Structure 1
Amino acid sequence: MKYIINKHPLAIRWFHWLNFPLLAVMIWSGLLIYWAYDPYAIKMFGATVIKFFPEWFYQKYHIKRRLAEGMAFHFVFMWLFAVNGFLYVLYTIISGEWRHLLPQKHSWRDAWLVLLHDLHVRKTVPPHNKYNAAQRIAYTAVVVMGLGSLLTGLAIYKPVQFNWLTFICGGYRTARLIHFVLTIGYCLFFIIHIVQVALAGWQNFISMIRGFEVKDRAAVESVTAKGGSDER
């Protein structure tokens, strides 16, 4: 016997799916800006191990000599990205969805157990409600990262007008480095998010489109009996 579980309100789905193309354009246009001055690299014993980014990368994706284009897209879409993020946070506060998203007292411990479960080291995942501990930490972190990107972005966009903000961020160079590191963080979050969605299954993915998930009662009772949860 199958039954329906309502999972994601319409507003959450809109904010989620709007954020994907907005962030994609921000990263792409940011790369166009970064080419104008690309000093970042990981070095060991004076030798460059990783260069952000190698010459072949710029050639392959035709990134060179497009600074003005990158700035134009970046400074337009950053406001759309910021507004979408602000409305998302505002909605979670008003609707009470924040209760499902904020990490709890034992979230860090349980997140480790979730990781062991995903790696098939542990058989059961810690009991959870709408989101597990790892998801709570990740989704809260990405909101904080979004705020960090906005503030450091303004600090390097208008370092004179927002000189106080640039100072708080540690100066222009530090603000630019933080901005860059946060972008790498978004890319890592996206990869981990896709892996988590794949592990959770098709029903979990489709629920973010239609808002509900169809469950098999017998399968849910079997998972619950083993100490797991009927939601991901």
Structure 2
Amino acid sequence: MSTLAAAETSASAAPAKIIQPAWVRTMHWINAVAMILMIMSGWQIYNASPLFDFTFSRDITLGGWLGGALLWHFAAMWLLMINGLAYLVTGFATGRFRKKLLPITPAGVIGDVKAALTFKLSHDDLTVYNYVQRTLYAGIIVVGVLVVLSGLSIWKPVQLHWLVTLFGDYPTARYVHFFCMVAICAFLVIHVALALLVPKSLRAMIIGR
């Protein structure tokens, strides 16, 4: 067997590189389920006392009524908080956030946004996040922290009055919570769209390779 043929055989026999470790995949899908449950139940809660001149269709809400929606919302909240905290601690402890999300520079973001808008943004190496991905993922972590803190303020405004004060007052905490939800929904739309445009990234989040 020639050297070239032997090399090709060895390369084909080698296992595919792990792109997304098991802990990332597990926590990612738990977060996704918890977030969808919270959004749908949150829309039902919003309908009970709307902030704006519209309500969400009952077809896309969860809980059936305010009491049922609150039960779903609180159950998903604990799941999201525990899993999200574990994800943050593990991400910082393993250095994944530092390696994946930094650095983020204005020039890099602008350059990659231009490349994305002209369909020239490369997705060849799934182990490296481009500046658009880094900005989105870092931003959604900040939004996730804000949505939890504002949610706690709304849930326990008397017991956590100091937290409400950080947002200014109770109505402001509600608005912050609502717009964080909007930001999360926008992120999910972009995230799913990118996954559909680059199917191998979705496969990596399912099987790791």
With the length of structure 2 as denominator, give the TM-score of the two structures. 0.84
Aligned to 1:168: 166
Aligned residues: CA RMSD: 2.4
SS at match of 1:5: coil
Partner letter of residue 21 of structure 1? V
Q: Structure 1 12/65 Cα, relative in aligned 2: closer, same or farther at 3 Å? A: closer
Q: 2:188 aligns with which of 187, 190, 210?
A: 190
**Structure 1 alignment gaps of length 5 or more:** 41-50, 213-232
| Amino acid aligned to 2:45 | I
Find the counterpart in structure 2 of residue 44 from structure 1: none
- 2:17 is aligned to 5
Displacement of 1:64 after TM fit? 9.4
Query: How far apart are 1:169 and its partner, in Å?
Result: 1.1
Change over 3 Å in CA distance of 1:95–1:180 after alignment to 2: same
* Greater relative contact order (CA < 8 Å, ≥ 6 in sequence): 1
Q: What does residue 38 of structure 1 align with?
A: 50
In structure 2, give the amino acid aligned to 1:26. Answer: M
Deviation at 1:62, TM superposition (A): 7.0
Matched with 2:98 is: 99
C-alpha distance in 1 between matches for 2:140 and 2:121: 26
More strand by share: 1
Query: 1:35 aligns to what SS in structure 2?
Result: helix
Opposite residue 207 of structure 2, the aligned amino acid is R
How many residues in Structure 1 have an aligned counterpart in Structure 2?
Answer: 196
Partner residue of 1:86?
85
- Compute the displacement of 1:113 (Å): 2.1
Alignment correspondent of 2:199 = 202
**Offset from partner CA, 1:177-232 (integer Å, 9 cap, x none):** 00000001111001111122223x222210111112xxxxxxxxxxxxxxxxxxxx
- For residue 53 of structure 1, report the CA deviation from its aligned partner: 2.7
* Structure 2 residue aligned with 1:45: none
Question: What's the CA shift for 1:25?
Answer: 0.4
Structure 1 residues 174 and 125, CA, compared in 2 at 3 Å: closer, same or farther?
Answer: same
1:46 aligned partner: none
Residues 1:118 and 1:62: Cα distance change in structure 2 (over 3 Å)? closer
How do residues 52-91 of structure 1 correspond to structure 2 at under 5 angstroms?
52-53=54-55, 57-58=57-58, 60-61=59-60, 66-91=65-90
Contact kept in structure 2, 1:101 and 1:136, CA below 8 Å: yes
| 1:14 aligned partner | 26
Q: Deviations over 1:102-139 (max 9, x none)?
A: 34152x32222222222226x46599862111111111
Question: C-alpha separation between the residues in 1 aligned to 2:160 and 2:121?
Answer: 50
- State the alpha-carbon separation in 1 of the partners of residues 61 and 153 from structure 2: 28
Which of the numbers 176, 179, 203 marks the counterpart of 1:178? Answer: 176
Unaligned runs of 5+ in 2: 1-7
The offset of 1:88, in angstroms, is: 0.3
Q: Which amino acid aligns with 2:25?
A: R
Give percent identity, aligned residues only: 30
Deviant stretches of 4+, over 3 Å: 60-65, 123-129
- Secondary structure of the 1:104 match is coil
Q: Identify which range, 3-12 or 176-185, moves more after superposition.
A: 3-12
CA contact (8 A) 2:41 2:63 kept: no
> Against the structure 1 CA distance between its residues 104 and 52, is the aligned structure 2 distance closer, same or farther, given a 3 Å change threshold?
farther
